[in-house]
């Protein structure tokens, strides 16, 4: 029985020993076998150092701040935390814990470094105008086509470059871009690229001229004559220049002040400043000559405008800047149907404020046709320089004609008797005191056949210079005047 019991015990121990040997052995493998980052079609493999448990990945053209899901291979039967499917921000180190089947752990640190060392954008801004560089990655040049850099070549550029890279000199440092400038970009992994900034500058224009200057008055164009040496513009017009916005053209890139759209009174000199793109400037002075017929009247001692005449009247014309001393200068009487060159005499001039003022007497031609729409024109070398702004009304039929006066000189209380043809009951006397005395049918009598006009000179003693202490005799015009129309003049002496 002892032998049997002993055998039973030995057999049981053998069974126990065999059972332990049959248990499977758990793995202790806890390695990251491969580590990859795949983004935008590119794959970046990590270099794994199992001794230091460091995985180094070098990337390019990859924004590491974005969440990226890596591709990781680990030991069989091991597990990893964070999991394979967890996206990570690799702009900073990331740790992974690999746990073997038997529970042993290994911690790997993933270090992702970029090899990017590019300048992606380069700009300079002299005088508020920004110029962008063209980047050539094949030869690492940045070319800038600038304008006006000469006015301010020392600038702080605007630079964009690869993430996590550094740049030297600093993008906040001022540089002189009138010469080539070099920048070195160092990637996160230490790789360097040196860029040369080449600036081609076109200097700002110094052109600052007024190229043309015009008035457009009532649809008519008047051109200014520009003298660039004296910086003056002379412009003639026969229309009112007191409220004009001129038409001006200037050099490309230049500005003008005041603006051409502003209304100006060109009766006075007006100055314009033209500023070139490089800020140099010229000042032009516009000198306007208003060539005008100021007035017309049969009396030489009044500036009032009287426009109705018989064809034998000899009215006086007042003008501004009508120079009849110029060769080939003429006074023309004209309407749409007829044109006459007029004779003139008693031409007198005076100057003031750079203007020529003239005063002369005109004669209508014997063959002038009755019309109420004649204009006076001032013509030089066939070019019309001025046109009257009033119409002249002329009657050439049944014209009153003075043949003679009963005396050559008259005193107060004398009687003026004129003989002639078609005489009318109305005269005007242009006296020494610059007063024109008008006498109508209440004072003037006409005989039945219109050949004699009588006026007693007993009404206004002021017409006679000796009566008011003035030198006498005074040559006094006696003018036919009836129903607002002036006729022939005879000059006698008033004592």
347-365 burial, b at 16+ Cβ within 10 Å, e below that, comes to: eeeeeeeeebbbbbbbebe
Give DSSP secondary structure letters for 209-250. Answer: -EEEEEEEETTEEEEEEEETTTTEEEEEESS--SSB--EEEE
Quick: pLDDT tens for 475-492.
Answer: 999 999 999 999 999 999
**Number of alpha carbons in the 13 Å side-chain half-sphere of residue 196:** 7
Residues near 235 by beta carbon (within 8 Å), at least 6 away in sequence: 213, 215, 222, 223, 224, 225, 266, 286, 287, 288, 289
**According to the CATH classification, is domain 32-114 in 3.40.190.10?**
no
Q: In this model, does residue 82 exceed pLDDT 80? A: yes
The residue among 344, 314, 306 whose CA lies nearest residue 436 is 306
Residues near 265 by beta carbon (within 8 Å), at least 6 away in sequence: 241, 242, 243
d(CA 307, CA 485): 8
210-290 and 401-494 have identical folds = yes
d(CA 240, CA 249): 22
Q: In this model, does residue 7 exceed pLDDT 70? A: no
pLDDT band at 241 (very low <50, low <70, confident <90, very high): very high
pLDDT band at 5 (very low <50, low <70, confident <90, very high): low
Average pLDDT over residues 345-354: 92
**According to the CATH classification, is domain 210-290 in 2.60.40.2340?**
yes
Question: Phi/psi zone of residue 358: left (φ > 0), alpha (ψ -120 to 50 degrees), beta?
Answer: beta
Q: Which residue did the predictor score with more confidence, 91 or 315?
A: 315
Q: Is the peptide bond before 473 cis (omega within 30 degrees of 0)?
A: yes
* Phi, psi angle pair for 151, to nearest 5°: -80, -20
Average pLDDT over residues 5-28: 62
Residues near 406 by beta carbon (within 8 Å), at least 6 away in sequence: 415, 416, 417, 418, 419
The tokens describing 355, both together, are 């203007």
Name the E strands within 291-435. 292-297, 308-310, 316-320, 329-334, 339-341, 343-352, 355-363, 371-380, 383-387, 392-395, 401-405, 409-410, 415-421, 427-430
The tokens describing 157, both together, are 């550029």
231-251 burial, b at 16+ Cβ within 10 Å, e below that, comes to: bebebbbbbebeebebebebb
Quick: pLDDT tens for 178-234.
Answer: 999 999 999 999 999 999 999 999 999 999 999 999 999 999 999 999 999 999 999
Is there a contact between 104 and 84 (Cβ–Cβ < 8 Å)? no
The residue among 115, 113, 95, 114 whose CA lies nearest residue 105 is 95
Kindly state the percentage of the chain with pLDDT values over 90: 87
The tokens describing 204, both together, are 């700002």
Q: What number does CATH give the domain 292-395?
A: 2.60.40
Q: What is the pLDDT of residue 417?
A: 98
The tokens describing 81, both together, are 């935390």
Q: In this model, does residue 13 exceed pLDDT 70? A: no
Q: Which CATH number fits the domain 119-202, given the four candidates 1.20.1250.20, 4.10.80.400, 2.60.40.2340, 3.30.70.360?
A: 2.60.40.2340
Q: Which residue did the predictor score with more confidence, 66 or 119?
A: 119
Q: In this model, does residue 14 exceed pLDDT 80? A: no
Q: In this model, does residue 17 exceed pLDDT 90? A: no
Cα separation values, 294 from 266, 267, 307, Å: 17, 14, 12
Q: In this model, does residue 10 exceed pLDDT 80? A: no
The tokens describing 28, both together, are 């202790």
Domain ranges in the chain are 32-114, 119-202, 210-290, 292-395, 401-494
Please indicate, yes or no, whether the overall pTM of this predicted structure exceeds 0.75. no
Q: Is 195 helix (H, G, I), strand (E, B) or coil?
A: strand
Q: What number does CATH give the domain 401-494?
A: 2.60.40.10
Q: What is the pLDDT of residue 319?
A: 96
Burial of 486 (0-12, 13-18, 19+ CB in 10 A): buried
Q: In this model, does residue 433 exceed pLDDT 70? A: yes
Is there a contact between 155 and 174 (Cβ–Cβ < 8 Å)? yes
The tokens describing 280, both together, are 């140099």
């Amino acid at each position: 029985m002892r032998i049997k019991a002993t055998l039973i015990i030995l057999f049981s121990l053998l069974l126990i020993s065999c059972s332990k040997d049959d248990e499977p052995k758990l793995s202790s493998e806890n390695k990251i076998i491969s580590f990859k980052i795949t983004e935008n079609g590119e794959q970046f493999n990590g270099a794994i150092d199992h001794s230091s448990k460091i995985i180094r990945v070098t990337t390019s053209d990859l924004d590491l701040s974005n969440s990226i899901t890596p591709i990781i291979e680990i030991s069989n039967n091991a597990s990893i935390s964070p999991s394979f499917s967890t996206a990570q921000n690799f702009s900073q180190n990331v740790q992974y814990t690999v746990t073997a089947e038997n529970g042993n752990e290994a911690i790997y640190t993933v270090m992702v470094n970029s090899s990017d060392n590019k300048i992606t954008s380069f700009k300079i801004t002299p005088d508020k105008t920004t110029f962008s560089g063209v980047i050539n990655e094949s030869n690492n040049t940045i070319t800038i086509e600038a304008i006006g850099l000469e006015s301010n070549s020392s600038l702080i550029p605007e630079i964009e470059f690869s993430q996590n890279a550094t740049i030297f000199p600093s993008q906040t440092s001022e540089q002189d871009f009138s010469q080539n400038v070099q920048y070195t970009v160092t990637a996160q992994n230490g790789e360097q690229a040196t860029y040369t900034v080449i600036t081609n500058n076109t200097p700002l224009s110094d052109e600052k001229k007024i190229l043309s200057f015009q008035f457009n008055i009532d649809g008519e164009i008047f051109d200014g004559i520009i003298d660039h040496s004296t910086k003056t513009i002379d412009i003639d017009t026969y229309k009112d220049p007191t409220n004009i916005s001129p038409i001006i053209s200037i050099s490309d890139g230049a500005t003008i002040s005041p603006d051409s759209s502003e209304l100006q009174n060109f009766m006075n000199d007006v100055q314009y400043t033209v500023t070139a793109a490089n800020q140099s400037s010229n000042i032009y002075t516009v000198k306007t000559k208003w060539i005008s017929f100021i007035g017309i009247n049969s009396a030489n001692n009044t500036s009032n405008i009287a426009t109705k005449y018989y064809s034998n009247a000899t009215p006086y014309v007042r003008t501004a800047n009508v120079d009849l001393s110029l060769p080939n200068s003429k006074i023309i009487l004209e309407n749409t149907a007829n044109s006459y060159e007029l004779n003139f005499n008693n031409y007198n001039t005076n100057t003031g404020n750079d203007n020529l003022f003239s005063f002369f007497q005109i004669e209508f031609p014997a063959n002038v046709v009755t019309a109420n729409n004649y204009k006076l024109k001032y013509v030089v070398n066939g070019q019309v320089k001025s046109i009257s702004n009033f119409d002249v009304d002329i009657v050439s039929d049944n014209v009153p004609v003075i043949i003679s006066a009963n005396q050559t000189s008259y005193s107060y209380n004398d009687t003026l008797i004129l003989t002639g043809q078609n005489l009318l009951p109305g005269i005007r006397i242009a006296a020494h005191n610059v007063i024109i005395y008008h006498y109508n049918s209440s004072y003037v009598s006409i005989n039945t056949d219109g050949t004699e006009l009588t006026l007693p000179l007993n009404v206004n003693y002021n017409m006679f210079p000796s009566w008011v202490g003035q030198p006498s005799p005074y040559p006094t015009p006696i003018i036919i005047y009836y129903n607002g129309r002036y006729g022939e003049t005879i000059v006698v002496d008033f004592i």
